[in-house]
Amino acid sequence: MATEHATNASPSAEFIQHHMTNLTLGEGFWAIHVDTLLFSILLGGLFCWFFYNIGKKATSGVPGRLQNIAEMVYEFVDNTVKDFFGQSRRDIGSLALTIFVWVLLWNTMDLIPVDLLPGMAAVVGVPYLKVVPSTDVNATFALSITVVVLMYVYAFKNNHGALGLLKSMGTHPFEAKSPAMMAILFPINFALRIVEDFAKIISLSLRLFGNLFAGELVFVLIALLPFFVQFIPGGAWAIFHILIVTLQAYLFMILTIVYMSMAEAH
């Protein structure tokens, strides 16, 4: 399980550390953050269940409120994909919709009172519980790595195999007009492309993690205040945080679409 707090830590420091510690199974590289996996699976299941049921009940007449919401989200994502690809794309659109809604649900967990679910878990003997998957760098890195791997899969497909993929990775940013110069510049271009793709992984993951971790930390600090004044800064921060929650989901989605558009054959 997670490491115990230092005995000489102040009550405030212990409170903060407790709320920012994952429920962990195992140690070292093979440690599993059980709470991150649990809430990610539950929220992913909620997303699938919601859109599946809306699809089954969809009507061509006057749509209900939930169908309106689902259609608005779908059209928003589909129009964004069209802006980059010039047409509707079921493959890219499905990926972008999944990432947007899933990350939005991750982030929305940050609006739940910080003591509510951990307190309920403590009653049944669970010592730690972080309920916001996007405050776990392992989750954000896993998602960003998945996006970049999919980018390579699409590049492999669009460039007709491994040779086409290698050629596309070795011709930019320095272009050559002769085969000899191309052979000289290929290793440099290839190395720069690898660095660029590692930078994609790091920027995608740390942007989401940093913003949500900081937001959750502010909520934890507000929870240290006397309960009768918490609603003033807590309410103000929650209203502002709604923008952050939505914006970070949008940015992750839009960058995913951008990276997929870069994998198209030109």
* Residues annotated catalytic, as ranges: 203, 207, 211
Which segments of the chain are extended strands (E)? 24-25, 32-33
CA distance 144 to 155: 17
Q: Which amino acid is at 84?
A: F
Q: Which ranges of 86-178 would DSSP assign to H, the alpha helix?
A: 90-108, 116-123, 137-158, 162-169
CA distance 224 to 228: 11
On whether the CB atoms of residues 200 and 259 are closer than 8 A, the answer is yes
User: Which of 209, 216, 198 minimizes the C-alpha distance to 251?
Assistant: 209
Q: Which amino acid is at 149?
A: V
C-alpha separations of 159 from 151, 152, 240 in Å: 12, 10, 44
Phi-psi map region of 110: left, alpha, beta (phi>0 left; psi -120 to 50 alpha):
alpha
User: Which of 95, 224, 112 minimizes the C-alpha distance to 151?
Assistant: 95
Rg of the chain's alpha carbons, rounded to an integer? 22
